[in-house]
Structure 1
Amino acid sequence: MTSPDEIILAGGKKLTVVGDTHGQFFDVLNLFQKFGFVSDEHVYLFNGDFVDRGSWSCEVAFYLFVLKILYPHSIFINRGNHETNDMNKTYGFTDECEHKYSQKVFEAFAESFGALPYAALINGSYLCMHGGLFSRDDVTLKEIKNFNRFPTSGSTQPPRDGIAMELLWTDPQPEVGRSQSKRGIGMQFGPDITERFCLNNKIRKVLRSHEVRMGGVEEEHNGRLITVFSAPNYCDSTGNLGGVVHFVENPKYNKATDQEDGYKTADDPNCPWSLQIETFDAVPHPDLKPMAYSKSGFGY
């Protein structure tokens, strides 16, 4: 099994989905302070892009990996498009590792990023990936799960096309259908694409990150899609809130009337889990600009 990771929560537990944090270490610390720490009762899923841009990417990555060692069943980490070599060389993480530690440390991180899953399936009903959906209508959860992220070639850098690339790179659009991506890689997908994917795969919603949302979290595509972005005042300049999405036990859930393997609406009130959105502001940090160690010319 490669991806997606399947996260199944026992009764009474809470899961918090966190979007991009981009090396904003002090905001990550504040996030845990505000919403609760990782524990057997509180599971976290970090949905990619925890390095690059911010100048404390090493600290964020080390912190998340230590938490994964300490609480292997209570923290999950998806790969984002910035957990890749080409992005790290452009947007600061490579240079930060070499400035603070060594090239070997960056190489160890690069190897670890190749082991991260591209998606997670929460309670069989919510698919969470960093980017978004696909250029094909027939992609299934089984195909995503069976994608081999450890190819015999030895390279764990994601391909430039196919479902792995799209899981990392695609974006939603308000118009129906698909269109060319403004990023120059991947594509954009409309509400009809999201609806068909959810119905075909019998899931309730898709959660993704990858784009700034000024309110931290945005529900899109008639409730089928949620974008969560967790780097408040991104790059010390955007002025956005950070946001998270909590999954909490629904006390009104009636298992006897739940069609677990049948048609699922986006917001069925008889669902084992309720989704709650919370937001947070940026906190002060030492006077160090984003990408302070970058040699790429993209610094601030």
Structure 2
Amino acid sequence: MSRGNHESLTMNQMYGFQGEVKAKYTSQMAELFTEVYNYLPLCHCLNARVLVMHGGLFSSDDVTLDDLRKIDRNRQPPDEGLMCELLWSDPMPGKGRAPSKRGVGIQFGPDVTREFLEKNGLQYVIRSHEVKADGYELGHDGDCVTVFSAPNYW
């Protein structure tokens, strides 16, 4: 289990989770959820070959796994930087980087994915930030896998 963009106080307030918890339980319970979310890992590296995160890759080419290990996750996500991009970024079919359609994070192309994988000695990344009709999508020549566990949620 890892933290996603919705495991934040802002998103829980905006989409009603905080209000629902307060109505059914207590304000203290809502605060406890926020505290637990702050401790969830931002990503996982499996067998030194696969990086799993909610969102995606980064606005900089020099990000290493060590940089990700150093992120202070026990806080609310900022609007920019590595933590933000892990939670909010999305792949795009074209090369390079582009502003995110979400207003936070970035869009990154197959060349960005390949360079990140090579720099960090990884085989591919797995992410989950977008609904996919079949529940998953192989992108960036198989280097970026999107898995969405509830494709019919809408």
TM-score, scaled relative to structure 2: 0.97
CA RMSD in angstroms comes to: 0.8
Distance 1:212 1:232, change over 3 A: closer
1:99 — aligned with what? 23
Q: Does 1:81 align with 2:18?
A: no
For structure 2, the 5+ residue unaligned runs are: none
Q: Quote the offset at 1:232 in angstroms.
A: 3.5
**Amino acid in structure 2 at the alignment position of 1:138:** D
Q: Does 1:121 align with 2:45?
A: yes
2:63 — aligned with what? 139
More helix by share: 2
What is the alpha-carbon distance in structure 2 between the residues aligned to residue 148 and residue 184 of structure 1?
Answer: 23
2:36 to 105, 112, 117: 112
Q: Does 1:224 align with 2:148?
A: no
What is the alpha-carbon distance in structure 2 between the residues aligned to residue 171 and residue 101 of structure 1?
Answer: 35
1:164 — aligned with what? 83
Please identify runs of 4+ aligned residues in structure 1 that moved more than 4 A: none
Output aligned runs, 1:1-300, within 5 Å. 77-150=1-74, 156-235=75-154
1:23 — aligned with what? none
**Amino acid in structure 2 at the alignment position of 1:216:** G
| Count of residue pairs brought into register by the alignment | 154
| SS of residue paired to 2:39 | coil
**Amino acid in structure 1 at the alignment position of 2:111:** D
* Amino-acid identity (%): 50
What is the alpha-carbon distance in structure 1 between the residues aligned to residue 102 and residue 73 of structure 2?
Answer: 23
Matched-pair contact (CA < 8 Å) for 2:134–2:151? no
What is the alpha-carbon distance in structure 2 between the residues aligned to residue 180 and residue 232 of structure 1?
Answer: 25
Residues 212-242 of structure 1: CA distance to partner in whole angstroms, max 9, x if unpaired? 000101000001000000113113xxxxxxx
What is the alpha-carbon distance in structure 2 between the residues aligned to residue 98 and residue 146 of structure 1?
Answer: 33
Q: Quote the offset at 1:100 in angstroms.
A: 1.4
What is the alpha-carbon distance in structure 1 between the residues aligned to residue 51 and residue 58 of structure 2?
Answer: 13
For structure 1, the 5+ residue unaligned runs are: 1-76, 151-155, 236-300
Residues 171-230 of structure 1: CA distance to partner in whole angstroms, max 9, x if unpaired? 000000001111011110000000000011000000001100001010000010000001
- Bigger Rg, which one: 1
